[in-house]
Amino acid sequence: MKRWLIAAFMAVMLLGGCGGSTPKVAKLAAADVVLAFGDSLTYGTGAKAEESYPAVLSRLLGRSVVRAGVPGEQTAGGLQRLPGALDEHQPRLVIVCLGGNDMLRKGSREATEANLRAMLKEIRGRGLDAVLVGVPAPGLITSTPDFYEKLAREFGIPYEGKVVTSVLYKPELKSDPIHPNADGYRRMAEAIAKLLRDAGAV
């Protein structure tokens, strides 16, 4: 009986530790570049350029954050574009926020997951740190698909899976049904900044 209790206690402790701590990344030097890579959510559709989440994040972190967002882009296009963006900007850390347009166009979730996995492999294969931001599937009552968290666990990288859904549920934080306004992008930037601090980036 005592052995069973000990085993149960250890199992609870192990489970409690899973997901409780943010995976670590290398500390960013003052001159290091962060690449914010994605679609319209990264571009900042619905707000001014200086109100986009990468611009706000740059001010919060005191680091250069490149706004590499292409409105309307799906993960297949992002996968093709990524190597050139990495070559051009030479980042130390890459924030990936893609997949919403795949879901809006009712694309295969398996293909979306595969494309995101290939992007993360490209980033990690170059010895760079990555952060993944999940986006919700379209719908009145929705949540972020579980493949985002699955990929973050697979690669052992920091993951923010709540803020975009939270913002898009609040009319006062949106410029239209699928895009934040300036206040919404600020919420995104604050959540990602907190994640990066928890991960040891700054």
Is 176 a known active-site residue?
A: yes
pLDDT digits (tens, 9 = 90+) for 54-112: 999 999 999 999 999 999 999 999 999 999 999 999 999 999 999 999 999 999 999 99
Beta bridge partners of 180: 174
Q: How far is CA 28 from the centre of its chain?
A: 17
Is 89 a known active-site residue?
A: no
Report all structural domains of the chain as residue ranges with CATH numbers, in order of start. Answer: 27-198 (3.40.50.1110)
Is 40 a known active-site residue?
A: yes
Choice among 32, 39, 40, 52 that is catalytic: 40
Alpha helices in 75-126 (DSSP H): 75-89, 100-104, 109-125
pTM: 0.89
Q: What is the end-to-end Cα distance of the chain in Å, rounded?
A: 47
pLDDT for the residue numbered 141 = 66
When pLDDT is averaged across residues 99-127 and rounded to a whole number, the result is 97
* Whether residue 4 has pLDDT greater than 70: no
pLDDT for the residue numbered 143 = 87
